[in-house]
C-alpha cells in the first residue's frame, strides 16, 4: 500500500497535472496495476494498493504517476488485501 500526504496549499503545477494523473490512475486500475485508490474527505491523504511482485516494481508504478513528483510516497508491504469483490461469484464467461 502506498500512502501520500497531499501538499497544502496546492500549487498551480500540481493542479495542472491532476487530469493526467487521473487518466493514468484509471489506466492502471484497468490494467490491474492499482487495486484500490482512495482520497480522504479533507483531501489531505491519498492511499492506493498497488499490485506488484516487488517493492521495486511498486515504486516503478508509483513513479509513473504525474503527481508523485509533488508528494513523498510511503510504502507499506501488505500480507494480503481483501475487498468485497473477493467475495462475489466469478464473472460469467460467454464463450
Residue range 25-73, pLDDT digits in tens: 999 999 999 999 999 999 999 999 999 988 899 999 999 999 999 999 9
Give the per-residue pLDDT at 47. 95
Smallest CA-to-CA distance from 45 within 82, 91, 1, 79 is with 1
Higher pLDDT, 91 or 27: 27
Higher pLDDT, 61 or 75: 61
Give the per-residue pLDDT at 3. 94
> What is the domain extent for residue 73?
2-87
| Residue 94 belongs to some domain of the structure | no
Smallest CA-to-CA distance from 24 within 54, 52, 64 is with 64
| Residue 16 belongs to some domain of the structure | yes
CATH of the domain at 52: 3.30.70.1060
| Residue 36 belongs to some domain of the structure | yes
Give the per-residue pLDDT at 87. 54
Whether the bond between 9 and the residue before it is cis, its omega within 30 degrees of 0, is yes
Q: How many domains does the chain have?
A: 1
| Residue 92 belongs to some domain of the structure | no
- Average pLDDT for residues 2-13, to the nearest whole number? 94
| Residue 31 belongs to some domain of the structure | yes
Statement: residue 89 has pLDDT above 70: no
Amino acid at each position: 500500500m502506498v500512502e501520500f500526504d497531499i501538499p497544502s496549499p496546492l500549487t498551480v503545477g500540481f493542479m495542472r497535472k491532476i487530469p493526467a494523473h487521473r487518466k493514468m490512475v484509471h489506466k492502471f486500475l484497468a490494467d490491474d496495476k492499482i487495486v484500490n485508490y482512495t482520497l480522504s474527505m479533507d483531501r489531505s491523504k491519498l492511499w492506493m494498493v498497488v499490485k506488484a511482485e516487488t517493492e521495486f516494481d511498486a515504486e516503478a508504478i508509483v513513479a509513473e504517476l504525474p503527481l508523485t513528483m509533488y508528494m513523498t510516497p510511503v510504502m507499506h508491504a501488505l500480507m494480503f488485501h481483501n475487498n468485497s469483490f473477493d467475495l462475489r461469484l466469478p464473472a460469467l464467461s460467454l464463450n
